[in-house]
Amino acid sequence: MDDISLSVLFGTLTLLVFLSAFFSSSETAMIALNRYRLRHLAQQGKRSAIISEKLLSRPDRLIGLILFGNNVVNFMAASIATIIGMRILGNVGVALAPFILVIIFLIFAEVMPKTIAAFHPETIAFPASYILALLMKLAYPVVWLINWVSNGLLGLIGVNTNEQGDTLLSREELRTIVREAGALIPQRHQRMLLSILDLENVTVDDIMVPRNEMVAIDLSDPINEIIEQLNHFQHTRIPVYESNIDNIIGIIHVRRVPRVLNEKGDITVDTIKNIVSDCYFVPKGTPLHIQMMKFQRNRRRFGIVVDEYGVIQGLVTLEDILEEIVGEFTTDIQTFNLDIQPQEDDSFLIDCTVHLREINRKLKWHLPTDGPKTLNGLLLEQLEYIPETGTTLKISDYLVEITQVSDSAVKIAKMKAIVSREQNSE
């Protein structure tokens, strides 16, 4: 009879270890669930996800239930272990039982189940949610009483359990999630998502065609020169001004040009003015994400950038902004424009009026962009004087040789990325 009773006690103790492991793993798994994935699965109708989300909507009650169940199990196990120890070793067994029980519970009811739950939270939490939901209904009065007392005591120290913590992701956290998505998001899509997040850190100044590079039609030029420009213009929209670039009167869309050239035998300045549409002006320093929304709201694709005094600084297009998100519309090195010309020795001849962001984007370089916007500006900042042809310098991991200089600026530079010994060894 004593043997049977001892067997029952061992069996009960084993069952209690499993129950403690269940509560411990459930607690870790429920807390470790990805809330955004959980919400997605719940919206898809997955029942276990719906139950889990409901349980987690009141984490104080869930924790109260799990801890209540775990403590009941642990105290029962301690009592049974003491009885077993007394029957086997007498008073010595009573003294040793707590130490042996702690080791057993730490390994089999705490460390192992919680580790498994941390690595596979959905595998543990979703099946457990059915049992926890049932236990919540059965033990609700006890759980409510425990929470009422504990929440009241927490209120005395200024903790309000009715206020849910802010679970919104910051922009930096979103950026980290995108980077660590791995194979879940293709690398090209990752770059696009990161570019979208970075739009607010980039302004129209960083991507605009500067004033000195703007191609426009001057109505004070001879009419035959204007017609020649209209016939050979490579862009979709053409700024039109009179005498001075600051005196822009509007924009011509190339779709209107053939009709005028065909219908009008004698084209005059007035004829051209009749097909000019209003100009859309963009304040200098406007962040790209705001400007993209303004383009969409105003149904525009082209804007003239002006400073606070109304002086024209350059022009920006919707295509320029889209290229900041998706990159160049072609990755063929042969399609680079004349501003960046690849050389046989893996270097590049670069027009120094090119924006640093464009160089970085096309060549996958990392030139500093927190200061000057153009390569000329960066070189002059580094040198602090107008250099002579043949001057060489090192900027970060890039070797620069000045190949052409004007009186006030660097015109052409030859650049090459320096490969470090560490990279070579790899």
The Cα–Cα gap between 392 and 153 comes to 71
Q: What's the confidence (pLDDT) of residue 258? A: 66
pLDDT confidence tier of residue 122, bands split at 50, 70 and 90:
very high
Q: Which two tokens stand for residue 249?
A: 């009167």
The Cα–Cα gap between 252 and 215 comes to 12
Q: What's the confidence (pLDDT) of residue 30? A: 93
Model confidence, pTM: 0.60
The Cα–Cα gap between 239 and 245 comes to 9
Q: Determine which of 9-23, 169-183, 338-352 has the lowest per-residue pLDDT on average.
A: 169-183
In sequence order, the β-bridge partners of residue 80 are: none
What is the signed CA dihedral for 331, 335, 340, 341, rounded to 10 degrees? 120
pLDDT confidence tier of residue 421, bands split at 50, 70 and 90:
very low
Comparing 407 with 332, the larger pLDDT belongs to 407
Q: Determine which of 28-37, 262-271, 281-290, 291-300 has the lowest per-residue pLDDT on average.
A: 262-271
Tell me the three state secondary structure of residue 98. helix
In tens, the pLDDT along 349-404 reads 999 888 888 888 888 898 988 888 889 999 999 988 889 999 999 988 899 999 99
Kindly report each contact of residues 245-248 with a partner whose C-beta sits within 8 Å and lies 24 or more positions away, as own/partner.
Answer: 245/211, 245/214, 245/216, 245/312, 246/310, 246/311, 246/312, 248/216, 248/279, 248/304, 248/312
Q: Which of 327, 322, 319 has its CA nearest to residue 302?
A: 319
Instruction: Report the amino acid identity of residue 49.
Output: A
CB contact set of 142 (below 8 Å; sequence gap of 6+): 68
Burial (CB < 10 A; 0-12, 13-18, 19+), residue 424, is exposed
Angle at 329 between CA 338 and CA 297, to 5 degrees: 115
Given CATH 3.40.50.1000, say whether it is the number of domain 333-425. no
Angle at 206 between CA 205 and CA 211, to 5 degrees: 50
Average pLDDT, the chain: 84
Among 5-14, 87-96, 178-187, 329-338, name the most confident range: 5-14
**pLDDT at residue 226 tops 70:** yes
Domain parsing of the chain, residue ranges: 2-156, 202-318, 333-425
Comparing 72 with 199, the larger pLDDT belongs to 72
CATH of 202-318, one of 3.40.50.2300, 3.10.580.10, 3.30.70.580, 1.10.3720.10: 3.10.580.10
Q: Which of 169, 146, 166 has its CA nearest to residue 64?
A: 146
Average pLDDT over residues 401-419: 89
Q: Which of 334, 350, 426, 332 has its CA nearest to residue 395?
A: 350
